[in-house]
Amino acid sequence: MVVKKLFVIMLSILFLIVSCAPATFVPRQPPEIKFEKTPPYKLDLSSIVKPEKAVKIWMNKDFKVVPENEAKYLVLTNTEYAKYIAQLRTKKTFEAIIKEQEILINSYIDTINALKEYVAIERAKAEEYRTLWADSENAYRQEKYYNEMNNILQKSILSVIAIGSLVALIIAL
């Protein structure tokens, strides 16, 4: 009778121990990083100085001053012509500089966007590593738990066999 009670107590303790599973390992969640793409640079030529209107003299084929719609020739004085040519060169130079500036700025923006993509890829890589690490840690804890339960079960069975042998030896004497 005592042996049965002892066996029932040991069996209930064994079930109580076996029913407790290890806690799931959850690693720290890194903060999420989000970036907006930088829009490309748009060229603005409105700030370029346009040449001033030159003082124009309209002439016909006899070199007499006439209205613009009747004129055959346009005459500019030396100073007006020089001013006009200088302003045209300045405008063309500014346009060339601004177009090169647009290329440089857009390559800079492309670099920034590539770095943002790189950060996103690195974050995804870190997230995958974190997931694999958590899975590995959980598998290790589960294996450790199963080994502990196996050891407890083996020790319990050996203890029951030893107690049973002692009880049988005591009964036999």
Asked if 60 and 69 count as a contact pair (C-beta separation under 8 A), the reply is no
Domain count along the chain: 1
> Which residue in the block uniquely carries the two structure tokens 């040991």?
10
Rounded Cα gap, residues 170 and 42, in angstroms: 100
CA torsion angle 125 129 134 136 (round to 10):
150
Is the pLDDT higher at 74 or at 4? 74
Angle at 120 between CA 119 and CA 124, to 5 degrees: 115
User: What pLDDT is recorded for position 149?
Assistant: 87
Residues 115-151 pLDDT 10s: 988 988 888 888 888 888 888 888 898 898 889 889 9
pTM of the model: 0.48
Residues 22-76 pLDDT 10s: 666 677 776 777 777 777 777 676 766 666 666 777 888 888 888 888 888 888 8
SS3 content of the chain, % helix, strand, coil (to 5): 65, 5, 30
**Domain range for residue 62?**
2-172
